[in-house]
Structure 1
């Protein structure tokens, strides 16, 4: 039997968004996923249905790829991004955007957005604060505009893997119910986009899987999973008959269309 190597027995790394390991893993993920074209196409459809497209407000804009895609539909773009490393890339992708460096809970946009985009941000917000965060974002949404909240689907293969190793599971459905109960005058919809990351290489699949299990509480776990355990999980659950690997990472999009006043 093959003996485990040091890398097999090492715990998975905690990837800092400003570090090279995160950038490499994220780059591998982006190169192999169909997320951007499929998500961008749906975002374009939503943007075109808005009665006004004056201001895009992107909360947690990251490196600006999606911000740049959406910005073409709006007269003005405002982005909130507290990470200095991400702001540098955001500025290159969206040179005309107003970028606010404060954390979301301290941000003060100068005006409402006709589209407010809160994508893959709630992972970093304690769950008791999800409703206040979403309520604040809804307050920044112009009458007749839309708030979009995007998160991993709780039953996606990616999320099942994260829950297997960390116990963490995210779910937008309770937030939808609470928002609807507190703000019944708006229209609500929860959509699902089926997405996949694919690669022919096991090593790359394991690096991306490590990236996917980097939930916000990973560093606080008593014992992080080993890379060997993650590699075994990838082999068992994501190997394809053609010899490659495919990791589903279906995501949910909560769409709140604010009532016109």
Structure 2
């Protein structure tokens, strides 16, 4: 594959606050079926809730999903530590109460009928995940539901992340710890894997999206960083399709935990 991106040099470390990150994120959203798929399932879940007083979106990002679900609730609270993302969040969902602290320090001050923790755990050390899940579960109102989204560790995207960075993210051990520690407070739980994918006909966009995907926190610590040429070769080998397009699978694990309705627990 001969494109300028792949000619020389190292992949970029994309800072969440940077314009380059936001452009890459927009490109990813434009090519993936994730948002439509996930939001449709979340809407179905919300419509089945017994009460819809408070929605708490932890790690709300640019607020697209927040804005999609907020009309179903009397009140919406969003936790988002990134200043750049908060600006977009407030534009998308101006009626939300926004908490600027990260999840491990945030104090939203509510018990919510739906708590959403979407793609946040990548940014925390894995040994902290059980405590974070306990903390977030405490924000669920009796009878309410916690939803946690994380990429499945064995999907095509995560295999690429592991190949270039060594990082692996697996929600299952922390889920087991949550269920063990919360005991009788859990009324029901389920884990579903959704088969999502990013698609494009543009080889440069495929490469730049792959670069965005491998920008996990551990990337910045690598010396040297992966080369652009190696990333291009990986994309061509694993994601090129016979029709000339590219597809990068990024299946998601969706954990749902319903809290017991008895307010004493």
TM-score of the alignment, normalized to the shorter chain, above 0.5: yes
Give the equivalent residue in structure 2 for 1:91.
90
Report the Cα offset of residue 208 of structure 1: 0.2
Report the Cα offset of residue 106 of structure 1: 1.7
Give the equivalent residue in structure 2 for 1:165.
164
User: Does the Cα contact within 8 Å between 2:39 and 2:68 map onto a contact in 1?
Assistant: yes
List, as ranges, runs of 4+ consecutive aligned residues in structure 1 with deviation greater than 2 Å. 2-9
* Structure 1 residues 6 and 205: alpha-carbon distance in aligned structure 2, compared to 1, 3 A threshold: closer
Give the equivalent residue in structure 2 for 1:80.
79
Secondary structure at 2:72's aligned position in 1? coil
User: Does the Cα contact within 8 Å between 2:197 and 2:249 map onto a contact in 1?
Assistant: yes
Report the Cα offset of residue 3 of structure 1: 9.5
Give the equivalent residue in structure 2 for 1:67.
66
TM-score, normalization by structure 1 = 0.96
User: Does the Cα contact within 8 Å between 1:8 and 1:229 map onto a contact in 2?
Assistant: no
Give the equivalent residue in structure 2 for 1:205.
206
1:46 has 2:38 as partner: no
User: Does the Cα contact within 8 Å between 1:115 and 1:145 map onto a contact in 2?
Assistant: yes
User: Does the Cα contact within 8 Å between 1:8 and 1:226 map onto a contact in 2?
Assistant: no
> How many correspondences in the alignment?
260
Secondary structure at 2:178's aligned position in 1? helix
User: Does the Cα contact within 8 Å between 2:5 and 2:228 map onto a contact in 1?
Assistant: no
* Structure 1 residues 6 and 60: alpha-carbon distance in aligned structure 2, compared to 1, 3 A threshold: closer
1:255 has 2:241 as partner: no
Secondary structure at 2:183's aligned position in 1? coil
* Structure 1 residues 58 and 10: alpha-carbon distance in aligned structure 2, compared to 1, 3 A threshold: same
Give the equivalent residue in structure 1 for 2:230.
229
- Counterpart-to-counterpart distance in 2, 1:20 and 1:209: 17
Secondary structure at 1:9's aligned position in 2? coil
Report the Cα offset of residue 222 of structure 1: 2.4
Unaligned runs of 5+ in 2: none
TM-score, normalization by structure 2 = 0.95
Secondary structure at 2:226's aligned position in 1? coil
User: Does the Cα contact within 8 Å between 1:114 and 1:146 map onto a contact in 2?
Assistant: yes
Secondary structure at 1:104's aligned position in 2? coil
Q: What does 1:1-261 correspond to in 2, within 5 Å?
A: 8-185=7-184, 186=186, 187-261=188-262
User: Does the Cα contact within 8 Å between 2:6 and 2:232 map onto a contact in 1?
Assistant: no
